[in-house]
Amino acid sequence: MTSLEPRLTELAHGGGCGCKLAPSVLQRLLANQPAMQPFSQLLVGNEMADDAAVWQVDDHTCIIATTDFFMPVVDDPLDFGRIAATNAISDIYAMGGKPILALAILGMPINKLSPETIGKILEGGASICAQAGIPVAGGHSIDSVEPIYGLAVIGICRPEQVRRNSGAKPGDALILTKGLGVGIYSSAFKKTALPRACYEEMIASTTLLNRIGSELAADPHVHALTDVTGFGILGHGLEMARASGLTVSLSLANIPFLSQAETLAREGFITGASERNWASYGGEVKLPDGMADWQRLLLADPQTSGGLLVACDAASADSLLKTIRDAGYPLASIVGYTQPGPVQVEVRA
């Protein structure tokens, strides 16, 4: 960015996956959408809030399609492009697939940002696509009031490797592959209160591709996958609970966080999206007595380019956790389990 340009985050009313509509609003918008039954090859649509659509082409091949875009969560245009691309590609991995190509989605206030800055955003996205081994094969751009960038991504997988959020079974262990706290960090960043080391930690997490999802989907002991993004671990855990018809039980002591997330949350660096998330689904979450507000809102914290939530056979959890950590996800942890019971998320101290 040139010295005369505004900060990217100053041009946006929200940032990253914190821009997502609240879960309750999204449910109302989708309530009257037409049913998908006439399309027998559509294995996954929007009926269970899965991460991407899946279309079965033949006995051996499924096409996975998704799109994701948002406003800046950071000011560096290269980093913004990298984060947005990593986040968009994650939906393919969360369904158990491998990405094959992407299309860019770009909306920019061209009277406020230079072509060089906008080009850096595109360059960042393309660099992540190159890491994923896919081309940016085209896209679409508009002149918009706020800066917006993301991708539409196409992937493939075998039918038996599709992993939905509805496949969790009672007694499954739950593994989270990345630490929480991106929304807290981004809130501190916008207020120029995030230490440089924490910024680098946030970038490392949000640009880490969830490619482990493709490997996990090939393991029959892995029953369900979803990525933890804008609705926080409570919201995406609740989506898994609803889709699978069970209780998701989380252990607060075992949930991994970015190094300063709890400290910054105590200091009040909470996003508005955390409050909206809780207002949408708090009635279906059971918390331990005496939990502080900052802890509750940290669990509702929107994660931009967050990790995967994995439901797997409990006997295989330790082995799978080692596989995940060895693949480059050092904060991956077993965070809870599923159990028969009411559709809810239960948090244990």
Is 198 designated active site? Answer: no
DSSP for 7-52, written as a single string: PGGGG-SS-GGGGSPPHHHHHHHHTTSPP-TT-TTEEE-STT--SS
Rounded to whole angstroms, the Cα distance separating 42 from 8 reads 39
Pair type for strands 344-348 and 308-312: unpaired
The C-alpha atoms of residue 198 and residue 191 are separated, in whole angstroms, by 14
Task: Of 74, 91, 255, give the one whose Cα is nearest residue 175.
Answer: 255
Name the DSSP class of 264: H
CA–CA gap between residue 52 and residue 43 (Å, rounded): 11
At a CB cut-off of 8 Å and minimum separation 6, what does 121 contact? 77, 78, 80, 81, 84, 106, 108, 147, 149
**CA-closest candidate to residue 122, choices 147, 104, 141, 110:** 104
Q: How far apart are CA 271 and CA 301, in angstroms?
A: 7
User: Which of 17, 62, 198, 312 is the catalytic position?
Assistant: 17
Report H helices in the chain: 23-30, 77-94, 115-132, 182-190, 196-206, 212-217, 232-244, 261-266, 272-281, 293-299, 317-326
Cβ-count burial of 243 within 10 angstroms (0-12 exposed, 13-18 middle, 19+ buried)?
A: buried
The DSSP bridge partners found for residue 136 are 102
Contact present, 89 and 209 (Cβ < 8 Å): yes
Catalytic amino acids?
17
